[in-house]
Chains A and B, each alone.
Chain A
Amino acid sequence: MTDKKTGQPIPRNPTLGEKLRHLLISQEGVLFVIMLVSVLFLATRTDKFLTVDNLLQQGRFMTEVGLIAIPMTYIIITGGIDLSVGSILGLTAIVLGWTWQELGFPLELAIVTGILSGTLAGFVNGLFIVRVGVPPLIMTLATLALYRGLAEGISEARSARGYPEWFFQLGQGEFLGIPTQLWLLIIAVIVFGIVLARTRLGRALYAIGNNELGARFSGLTVNRHLLFIYTFSGFMAGVAGYIFVSRVSTTRSDMGTGIELDVIAAVVLGGTSIFGGTGSIPGTIIGVVLIQLLKNGLTLSGVTSDATIVVIGSVLIFAILVNNFIQSRREES
């Protein structure tokens, strides 16, 4: 079908069937199918896995990774990375506990101070990346050590405990039968998913990731956007730190160690290219859920923890291979 005047093909609107098919062979669609297959398989191995209680409990455990994975998706889409999120989580937790217990802040103020210090830590990352031009990998690798060191220095290896009852509502309580923090994650996923997919901010992030110079030459405020997402990353790591403390009832300086790798694994599994330019929040969240369910299901099936890691690694590679295969077939057709 071509336009008579210009000789150009006229695009027609896709039918519902085509749309469904398109959705199914999208990155997220493929991943979702892999997740369903994994869940069904795990359900046959143990009857403790596919229960409402267990699944909600897993939702509790994955909230921290999920919250941090949202800004990480933004950052990786721009072609950057933030390795310091685990240390920022730890720093936030320590500042929270320390200002409350040692400095005698009211607990509410201590929470705000903790999250603010996490936000500040992210802002410092962004400032050096944007103003001084330090590559994100180097900058956040440095602050990964620096912020953890700060946390340890402030805490002097003591842990803060003895929080009042209301403080545990977020990390251990429920609201309408669902773990409180899971509500927070669900809301954040919806809001920031829409922000990425539909707003000018989201568009700018994709543009920066595909061609930073081109984005700059189009008049986009590249530096401002980058500064924002690293600050946002610090903020979310701070919120995750607060939830973490509330969930485990204590504050220790090694909290969140290594969480950056879980987060990055989930983001990349979710179809975000490590080279920037592509990715989505739905993909990321499926990645987070898939990893958490595999961990839990395998453990419940009696698989040892060493073997669990091996299986998860294999599933990651498998998922990426299947996705690459389908996406390249799709490009050809």
Chain B
Amino acid sequence: MSDALLQLRGIDKHFPGVHALKDARFDVRRGEVHALIGENGAGKSTMIKIVSGVYQPDTGEILLDGRRVEFSNPREAHAAGIATIYQELGLYPELSVAENIFMGHAPTMKRFGLRAIDWEAMEQGAAALLAELNIHNLDVGAKVGTLNVGNRQRVEIAKALSLDAQILIMDEPTAALTESDVEQLFSIVRLLRERGVSIIYISHRLNEVFELADRVTVLRDGDYIGTQDVSATSEGELISMMVGRTIENLFPKQVAEIGDVVLEVRNLNRPPLTRDISFSVRAGEIVGLAGLVGSGRSETAQVIFGVLPAESGEILLNGQPVKISRPSEAVDHGIGYVPEDRGHQGLIREMTIRENTSMAVLELVSKNTFISRAKERVLANHSIRQLSIRATGPDQTANKLSGGNQQKVVVSKWLASSPKLLIMDEPTRGVDVGAKSEIHRLMSQLAAEQGLAILMISSELPEILGMSDRVLVMREGRLVGEFTREEATQELIAHAMMSATPAVTSDVGATL
């Protein structure tokens, strides 16, 4: 391809125990948005880290503008015009917008015979860069720490442009953004494309690929699968390229026999985000908890799990009232909680799969307080098989796993405790399509075959509709709606989530 600005050919990269990229290739044309997709662990991150100079390929070559280049560190890639916008933003929260944009290359002037920062030029330069991106409402003097995620991301993009980036790598840029921030990001991306900047766009959300990208490259298990013009492909084709099979049933919900009430909460209170909550979950039942971000879903889950103990109200397990004032008590009562923030709450990433899977059941793998590593290994191997976790073995550090596999480790930790009730907070966020359907299948299986009661919090309506036997909706800390699987539709739930009319709570809970 002669018009390629950046070309990678025959790229191979090994890590201990993992062949991350196998003879992979990738090319980016000038002024295109090129999406890079694949399941977690497919090699996307490795690929962009090679492009941005973080890793060096074992074999293969990189051509920039037809010339062979080698980046031995990110700085060299930077100098060649390749900038990366990371998910974990690389900004200094205590410095101003302008200082962040010009970090390391601030405009200078002579003063008292010394080179001093020309603050005025810097602020003007920053404002001009932001204006070029059609961003007019951002104060260049504001501390970055005071900005919301969307604005911080804009600062990062401006920073990249201040370095004359020709290629911009965006890794999951919408993962943490609100709806309106996403819109604005898209218009910035389109603006940059018109100016001839090439963008490598990594995302799990296929609709973004269709909305934004010109071409799309699919990786699977380190193999290059193919590159397509977006206009000439379909969602189904991309999914089957990613997972190597067609997913016929995205939400494999089995019909489960609904048993006795496992969890019942009555008038649970912990303002501001948990107000007078009453509902129940039965054995074999998956109850979906829908609501906007900030509506109090996670907080309510954490009240039940004892992280934020209730101020008043009752929690009944199998009909018995229980007092839960800390997570260890919830665990003792047979409650498991797969939290939303996998990295900080769900996993201990520095520890091994073995140590993570036994974390909630240490008494089961130990005798007189001595932990048996053999028993732990048996447990971990069982989890690895049961959830098809892709790992080199039970002693692999959780850190080294891809996002989807990390999530499976968290789930397996709670399954090991044989809970009666499993609360799953955004169980498939940031998880690739393949792992997602595996987790869904597992949930469905656990409910149907073992009679596990599952309370599932999700911001994805298709997931709520696909998986739930019953749907609860929260708004502003209150339960504002309840629908059976048959009744529930996207419109009804979305309306309950966002409606401005005061909640009608009288019929909620009455049917339970």
Contact = CB atoms under 8 A, between A and B. Distances in A.
A198 B373 CA distance: 9
Interface string A214-240: 111111110000000000000000000
A216 B307 CA distance: 8
B16 interface: yes
A277 B350 contact: yes
Interface stretch (B104-112, B389-397, B436-444): B389-397
Contact of A199 (B17, B328, B345, B369): B369
Size class of the contact patch on chain A: 20 to 34
Given A11-B392, A207-B351, A333-B16, A219 B330 contact: yes
Interface residues of B, number: 37
Nearest to A6: B388
A9 interface: yes
Interface in B335-382: 337, 339, 344-351, 355, 359-360, 362-363, 366, 369-371
Interface in A188-216: 198-201, 203-204, 206-207, 210-211, 213-216
Nearest to A276: B350
A8 interface: yes
B413 interface: yes
A219 B362 CA distance: 10
Contact of B391 (A8, A216, A221): A8
Contacts of B391: 8
B326 interface: yes
B359 A210 contact: no
- Most chain B beta-carbon neighbours within 10 Å: one of A8, A210, A214, A217: A217
A198 B351 contact: no
A198 B376 CA distance: 12
Contacts of A204: 362
A217 B393 contact: no
B135 to A, nearest CB: 35
Contacts of B347: 211, 214
Nearest to A224: B328
Contact of B328 (A6, A219, A333): A219
A206 to B, nearest CB: 7
A328 to B, nearest CB: 14
Contact of B348 (A9, A11, A215): A215
B62 interface: no
B343 to A, nearest CB: 9
Nearest to A198: B370
A217 B337 contact: yes
B296 interface: no
A11 B393 CA distance: 6
B349 A200 contact: no
Contacts of B17: 9
Contacts of B331: 218-219
B434 interface: no
Contacts of A210: 348-351
B404 interface: no
Contacts of B328: 219-221
B327 interface: yes
Contacts of B348: 207, 210-211, 214-215, 218
A213 B388 contact: no
A150 B5 CA distance: 73
Contacts of B349: 210-211, 214
Contacts of A218: 327, 331, 348, 359-360, 413
Given A8-B390, A216-B307, A333-B16, A203 B355 contact: yes
Interface in A215-268: 215-221
Contact of B369 (A6, A200, A333): A200
A149 B455 CA distance: 55
- Most chain B beta-carbon neighbours within 10 Å: one of A214, A216, A221: A214
Nearest to B395: A11
A215 B355 CA distance: 11
A95 to B, nearest CB: 32
A54 B314 CA distance: 68
Contacts of B385: 6
A332 to B, nearest CB: 8
Contact of B346 (A8, A217, A219, A277): A217
Contacts of B395: 11
- Most chain A beta-carbon neighbours within 10 Å: one of B16, B327, B366, B388: B327
Contacts of B337: 217
Contact of B392 (A8, A200, A207, A219): A8
Contact of A217 (B16, B327, B350, B394): B327
A277 B413 CA distance: 20
Given A211-B344, A214-B345, A219-B328, 19 more contacts: A6-B388, A8-B391, A8-B392, A8-B393, A9-B393, A200-B362, A203-B371, A206-B351, A206-B355, A207-B348, A211-B349, A214-B344, A215-B348, A215-B359, A217-B339, A218-B360, A218-B413, A219-B327, A220-B328
11 contacts: A6-B388, A11-B394, A199-B370, A200-B366, A207-B348, A207-B355, A217-B327, A217-B339, A218-B331, A218-B413, A219-B327
List the 6 closest pairs (A to B, CB-CB), nearest first. A219-B331, A11-B393, A218-B359, A210-B350, A217-B345, A211-B348
Interface of A: 6, 8-9, 11, 198-201, 203-204, 206-207, 210-211, 213-221, 277, 333
